[in-house]
Amino acid sequence: MKIESRLAQIGSVQEPVTGAVNYPIYLATAFRHPRLGQSTGFDYARTKSPTRSVLEQAAAELEEGDAGFATSSGMAALTTVFALFQQGDHLLVSLDLYGGTFRLIEQIMTRFGVTASYVDTNDLDALEESRCSSTKAVLIETPTNPLMMVTDLAKVSAWARKHGLLTIVDNTLLTPFFQRPLALGCDIVVHSATKYLGGHNDVLAGLIVTKGKELSERMGFLHNSYGAVLGPQDSYLLMRGMKTLALRMERHESNALAIANHLLKHPLVSNVYHPGLPEHPGHDVQKAQASGNTGIFSFKVKDAVLVEPILRHLKLIAFAESLGGVESLLTYPTVQTHADIPEEIRLRVGVDDRLLRFSVGIEHVDDLIADLDQAFAQADQETKAKGESPS
């Protein structure tokens, strides 16, 4: 079946007793054994839970992997994956990186002796130069958050395999509806399922999908041992959100591209970062390895003095810190999502005080453009009155 049909049918045929179209929420943490030495397949909810199992099976199938693991957040998913590594191990990591991932590596994993080098993961020469005898994996965001840098997954995963390295991909921004890294040769996919997969800003969750029997067994052991698993209520909410993923991603994509093109012509905007734009670096790679584009992109205003009044004058769009929900959100990475990244690193990549990140929702695109235009206009008027406007 096409992915749209598989998404809509998540959990709809897994309950044979009643025929429930929506898979039930099993709140049980303990399960009876028929007799000594026998199990129903469920013993204790941390290890395996019925509602979570249906979600995990769906995630594995959608990402074309062998096993799925649902966690209590996207950061819990990454932490569980990082448990694959030990003291002395080294990772190669995307240069433009979500601030929470940077914080996890630099403030926690380094305490356990795991280190990282941050490189442009689409540059094989840079990867080769940073690789050392203790390197164990490449961690890739593509496109990256917030500058939308694109990595050729087939090329990098082939390079990594040649050197015995794992390739781990954060697929949060594109989801399996638009991109399936495991089919391109990668080993592990992680998601902050709070974002597009859940899609309604109402559930905190993470997902891991693995390829290969041995790796899947290792991840299953870590998932059970760490215990940062997703509860049954949240598993149900996540499945419910995923049923409409195809429809939502199509609207997110079309809205975001229309607004990105609108902002390209705006006199107060200097840069627009969207992989769907032909002039965006990596546009051709993105087009080749993904069937569509995410609903998130970033742009820079011409002067940082515009940022505060723009955010203050928004009416429909919310000034908030997440992404991937049906509601549109505008984020200021410098003080929000990327505040934990040292300033010199942020500035070197391009995450400066003029950058805004836009998670475009499913509202009517004309209303979103009108809200941006009026917020820009009022910000321009205010800064002109103070003698600060760049226009």
pLDDT digits (tens, 9 = 90+) for 323-374: 999 999 999 998 887 777 777 878 888 889 999 999 999 999 999 999 999 9
Backbone conformation region of residue 98, classed left if phi is above 0, alpha if psi is from -120 to 50, else beta = beta
Q: How many domains is the chain partitioned into structurally?
A: 2
As given in the structure block, the two tokens for residue 294 are 């995410």
User: Model-level pTM?
Assistant: 0.96
The answer to whether residue 287 is catalytic is no
As given in the structure block, the two tokens for residue 303 are 């002067």
Closest CA to 332 of 302, 303, 298, 363: 298
Question: Measuring CA to CA, how many Å separate 69 from each of 144, 236, 319?
Answer: 23, 14, 32
The answer to whether residue 98 is catalytic is yes
390 in a structural domain = no
As given in the structure block, the two tokens for residue 11 are 């959990």
CA 68, 71, 75, 81 torsion: positive or negative? negative
Q: 135: which strand partners?
A: 90
pLDDT of residue 223: 98
Q: What is the largest distance, in Å, between two alpha-carbon atoms of the chain?
A: 81
pLDDT digits (tens, 9 = 90+) for 242-262: 999 999 999 999 999 999 999
The answer to whether residue 195 is catalytic is yes
Any idea which residue has 């019925």 for tokens? 50
Which is catalytic among the residues 195, 211, 251, 357? 195
The answer on 153 and 260 residing in a single domain is no
Q: Residue ranges of the chain with pLDDT lower than 70?
A: 391
Strand 67-71 relative to strand 296-301: parallel, antiparallel, unpaired?
unpaired
Type of residue at 330: L
38 in a structural domain = yes
Among candidate residues 220, 242, 264, the one where a domain is terminated: 242
Among candidate residues 183, 208, 242, the one where a domain is terminated: 242
- List CB contacts of 241: < 8 A, sequence separation 6 or more: 197, 198, 199, 200, 203
pLDDT of residue 267: 97
- Cis upstream peptide for 50 (omega within 30°): no
The boundaries of the domain holding residue 161 are: 3-242
Among candidate residues 224, 242, 260, the one where a domain is terminated: 242
The answer on 149 and 138 residing in a single domain is yes
The answer to whether residue 170 is catalytic is yes
CA 307, 310, 312, 315 torsion: positive or negative? negative
Percent with pLDDT over 70 in the chain: 99
The answer on 162 and 47 residing in a single domain is yes
187 in a structural domain = yes
Q: 318: which strand partners?
A: 329
Q: 189: which strand partners?
A: 169, 209
The answer on 71 and 31 residing in a single domain is yes
372: domain CATH number? 3.90.1150.10
- List CB contacts of 281: < 8 A, sequence separation 6 or more: 149, 150
Backbone conformation region of residue 324, classed left if phi is above 0, alpha if psi is from -120 to 50, else beta = left
pLDDT of residue 334: 87
pLDDT of residue 210: 98
Which is catalytic among the residues 98, 118, 196, 236? 98
Burial 4-24 (b: 16+ CB within 10 A, else e): eeebbebbeebeeeeeeeebb
Which is catalytic among the residues 89, 170, 187, 371? 170
Neighbours of 107 (CB within 10 A): 10
